[in-house]
Structure 1
Amino acid sequence: MGSFLGFSALFYFLLAINMGNLMVSFSQEGLCSAPPILTSADSSDQPRYWKVTNPTLSPAHLQDLPGFTRSVYKRDHALISPESHMFGPLPYWTNTLGAYLITPAMGSHFVMYLAKMQENSKSGIPPRDVERFIFVVHGAVLLTDISGVTHSLNVDSYAYLPPNSTHSLNCDTSSTLIVIEKRYNYLESHIPDLIVSSTDKQPLVVTPGEGYEYRDLLSASLAHDFNIYIMDYKPGQFLNVKEVHYNQHGVLILEGQGIYRLGDSWYPVQAGDAIWMAPFVPQWYAALGTSRTRYLLYKDGNRNPL
């Protein structure tokens, strides 16, 4: 009898402790709330575009869920989220790992990949007649152009390298680039030039009737068969036009989060996500959260679709 009373007292004691913990948890977060997502990475002192090179899944309790990914591949679009990136050695690059995000195997006519350059790394040369665009999302690299002139490229700096132009990218410490390559569509009497610049040197373009601003990184001349834009949305802003057009797109989300409509599907997206859009796929974006959305956008143009 004494043992039974002792067990009963212990049971009710433990029950009281657990109920107390439950009440504290309920008062702070609500019943059945997921644990708060509070990490040092949320602080405001992080470098620009840090989520591209340090991606996280959200919410936190899904990070270790086996088989979980937001990546989707369909006939006319793809979403490649960071947890499914596959890095491997880049052909002809030294001490560099690459993850191909968009390739012609999807149906695109261009390639987009992340290049993670390590200590004492060097780029390779694109195939013949292939043009190259690079944008620095982390660290710094040194570009040496065909004339032997060197250019220091930091975060938000970029370069356009015309087809068949000898050049090299060198890195003494770790850096990450987004690289876009395309076989150049020649147009008689028009030859593209080397471009080296940075995002902040390009003026903001306000689009009447739309809720976003953008920067045009390449000139709109006929010498270029594609362009690159930096698109900025404040929280709550969205595309007014529900776009359907013949151009292809490649997107890398640099900051923020929102909802992207692609075809008949609606995808939550965030910094680090890459998107491919085929010609004529319906597309629309709305920025959510408390900070701006910024993404880099590839768009082919200046050529007859025939």
Structure 2
Amino acid sequence: MSYPKDLLSSRAIVRPGKFALIPPEGLVNNVIPGFENCQVSILTSPKIGASFAHYLVTMEKGGNVAGFGEEGVESFVYCIKGDVEAGTEDEKYQLTTGGYLYCPPDKKMFLQNKGDQSTQLVLYKQKFVPLDGTKKPWTVAGNVNEMEERLYEDMHNVTILDLLPTDLAFDMNMHILTFDPPGSHPFVETHVQEHGAYLLSGEGIYNLDNEWIPVKKNDYIWFGPFVPQAVYAVGKEKLSYVYSKDCNRDVVL
């Protein structure tokens, strides 16, 4: 860091309870117990109206996260780039770029960077909503580079990956949505589900609560419930983002 070279400005847009666009330039480092040799930025939390928490984590050499999550809380990690050992107390997985791990609410997540290079991760947690009469969710690990994309809404230039099983045992999913310019959503969505999205590549013009806003790689977007949303991909590179979604549960009154 140093003295500013121009007038202070930001692309960040925050509408508590509705949506937020968080660009990387304004992120700050948070000190969180259990995170060692890590730079941690909290991207969203219940303070803004979200029902979950999202983090951007850079693990330096020797970085360690000891027991992420709390009782009744499920967690998820996606490896943006690098190499990290991830797991629970009794299961270990080596995640490389595109790798991910989901830990059910009865298991805490452990992360360790044993390599010489830093590793960048997106980390997520939310309270689990159990469903009577169904089996409990289980640990899931994988790598998107080993998965086959499917067309999104039968559009040839938009694809989606489902990172978790489409099973009622799970009350959430993680997806990667990818648009070949000038791909777009088929319509402006308005729904009860929340999303937290980290942009992995490309550029776009996003409709957030009927404001058309430029977005690009490394931006983070939180979408509140019932906020109109859709995107057009622009530029030369594919627009791709990994995002969360609550699902498989009825409304609680």
TM over 0.5: yes
Counterpart amino acid of residue 123 in structure 1: V
Q: Does 1:243 align with 2:189?
A: yes
Amino acid at match of 2:127: R
- Larger mean Cα displacement after TM superposition, 116-125 or 239-248: 116-125
Q: Secondary structure at the match of 1:200?
A: helix
2:144 is matched with which residue?
Answer: 199
> In 2 relative to 1, CA 208–127 (structure 1 residues): closer, same or farther, beyond 3 Å?
closer
2:175 matches 1:223 = no
State the match for 1:69 in structure 2.
10
The one of 75, 79, 94 aligned to 1:136: 79
Aligned to 2:131: 187
Residue 272 of structure 1 and its aligned partner are, at CA, apart by 0.5
Question: How many aligned residue pairs are there?
Answer: 243
Give the Cα–Cα distance (whole angstroms) in 1 for the partners of residues 212 and 109 of structure 2. 41
What TM-score comes out, normalization by structure 2 length?
Answer: 0.92
Q: Does the 8 A contact of 1:90 with 1:96 survive in 2?
A: no
- Which structure has the larger Rg? 1
Equivalent position amino acid for 1:131 in 2:
E
**C-alpha deviation, 1:64, in angstroms:** 4.1
Instruction: Identify the match of residue 105 of structure 1 among 29, 47, 64.
Output: 47
Give the deviation of 1:240 after TM superposition. Answer: 1.2
Give the alignment partner of residue 242 of structure 2, picking from 252, 275, 296.
296
Please state how far the C-alpha of 1:133 moved relative to its aligned partner. Answer: 0.4
Percent of aligned positions with the same letter in both sequences? 28
Structure with larger RCO (C-alpha < 8 A, sep 6+): 2
Q: Distance in 2 between matches of 1:212 and 1:113?
A: 27
Q: Match for residue 16 of structure 1?
A: none
1:156, distance to aligned residue in structure 2 (A): 0.3
In structure 2, how many angstroms separate the alpha carbons of the residues matched to 1:162 and 1:208? 30
- The answer to whether 1:257 aligns with 2:203 is yes
Residues 1:127 and 1:66: Cα distance change in structure 2 (over 3 Å)? farther
2:122 aligns with one of 178, 181, 190: 178
**Partner-residue secondary structure (3-state), 2:187:** coil
Contact 1:162–1:192 at 8 Å: present in 2 too? yes
Matched with 1:87 is: 29
Secondary structure in 1 matching 2:59: strand
CA root-mean-square deviation: 1.5
Unaligned runs of 5+ in 1: 1-62
Report the alpha carbon displacement of residue 273 of structure 1 after superposing the two structures with TM.
0.4
3-state SS of paired residue (1:88): coil
1:283 aligned onto 2:225: no
AA in 2 matched with 1:175: T
1:267 counterpart residue number: 213
Structure 1 Cα separation of the partners of residues 72 and 26 of structure 2: 31
Give the Cα–Cα distance (whole angstroms) in 2 for the partners of residues 142 and 291 of structure 1: 30
C-alpha contact (below 8 Å) 1:248/1:279 kept by paired residues: yes
> What CA deviation, in whole Å up to 9, does each residue of 1:238-258 have, x standing for no partner?
111210001001110000001
Task: Give unpaired runs (5+ residues) of structure 2.
Answer: none
TM-score (norm 1): 0.76
